[in-house]
A and B are shown apart, each in its own frame.
Chain A
């Protein structure tokens, strides 16, 4: 049962990821991206990482993808607006990506992951309680610095989005 669910979610994720790359219309790309994130949330739940599943669901699917969708609708893109690369460079890019995939699979094929298992297993590490304890004990400084990062990102986005005084009013 769990094995079938794993294969189904993996297939769904890869299918939606190929849909992101292959679809002509940017709106369909965003919708496939949301499907990818949904399947990845399922993977997180299966790995018993409930906190990350919730964060993935709220931050990625809720905030980031809505921002993407909003920008695409704001810019009013249609499928005929994107010019495509020549077929030769597309094929070359696909071959380059495929070769990278083959090389990485060949390198990772014989990895002995049995070493990664531990004698004492705690299945509750992905819960909010345990992660919060670790976050606020060992990682308090990075957590606080993340707020500075967000402040800088917010100021940067506002500065970039503001219209310059001498700019033409074309938009």
Chain B
């Protein structure tokens, strides 16, 4: 019952580090290249998930439950963020008939 899971015995923790970094960088490239606000939002979710996976991996390898509690709170905050963010996107669409972020470039100044 208290065996070490096979992943933890066979896969080094560094692989999870590299994997999470790759996922995070794909999210960053998505934020930088796309113009649709919803896609940018999904790429932010991708970055959040890469961090979640790394926290879970460290927590499991160290057998320390605090990391998994943190992931749980990150998921709660992400859910609240998605609700408000999608409401903002719908409101922007209602006003300018588009979700293109370049229409809103006055927000930069």
Residues of A participating in the B interface, judged by any CB pair closer than 8 Å: 1-3, 6, 10, 13-14, 17-18, 20-21, 26, 29-30, 33, 36-37, 40, 43-44, 46-49, 51-52, 55-56, 59-60, 63-64, 67-68, 71-72, 74-75, 77, 81-85, 89-90, 93-94, 96-98, 100-101, 104-105, 108-109, 111, 113, 116-118, 120-126, 130-131, 134-135, 138-139, 142, 146, 149-150, 152-154, 156-157, 160-161, 167, 170-171
Q: Which A residues are CB-close (under 8 A) to B61?
A: 113, 116-117
Query: Could you tell me which B residues sit within 8 Å of A by CB distance?
Result: 1-8, 10-15, 17-19, 21-30, 32-36, 38-39, 41-43, 45-46, 49, 52-53, 56-66, 68-69, 71-73, 75-84, 86-91, 93-94, 97-100, 102
Smallest beta-carbon distance B80→chain A, Å: 4
Tally of contacts, chain A with chain B, CB under 8 A? 249
Given A29-B42, A64-B82, A139-B69: A97 and B29 interface contact (C-beta under 8 Å): yes
